[in-house]
Structure 1
Amino acid sequence: MEGSLNMIGLGLAAIGPGVGIGLIFAAYIAGVARQPEAQSRLQTIAILGFVLAEALFIISVALAFVLPI
């Protein structure tokens, strides 16, 4: 029972970064569509946002397996 609660929490923790990554790249695509000359600058910012959002999920994966409930 303990492991299943951790995995339910892990599934719920995956929702936040998933939505965040979707919003980041939606804004990137909209920005490039409006100003194609700013693509390289916007791409750098989008990748940085992706890395930060994904880092939160990786930390939650580690905590799901390490912390007992």
Structure 2
Amino acid sequence: MTKFVCAFLLIFLMAFVTQLAYAGGERSLTVQGCPEACDYRCSKTRVRKACLFFCNMCCEKCLCVPSGTYGNKEECPCYNNWKTKSGTPKCP
């Protein structure tokens, strides 16, 4: 019985760690976490002020910011699918 409990706990712990590892780091944010996530997301752009404005707006709505400084938008479907009136991506 003890071996069964230990095996179950080990599997549970591995699943938990795997979930954390693949969560993208910046996903599932609270609104308070948006400035830090967007600061990193916009760190390499030439239009930093606009990037930060739109990133924070998107983060507040979606509670998610893709990892990295560019791309990876598939990590956050809401962030990826929010478009302007003309059909271009709203979120950087």
TM-score under structure 1 length normalisation = 0.36
TM-score under structure 2 length normalisation = 0.28
Structure 1 or 2, whichever has the larger Rg, is 2
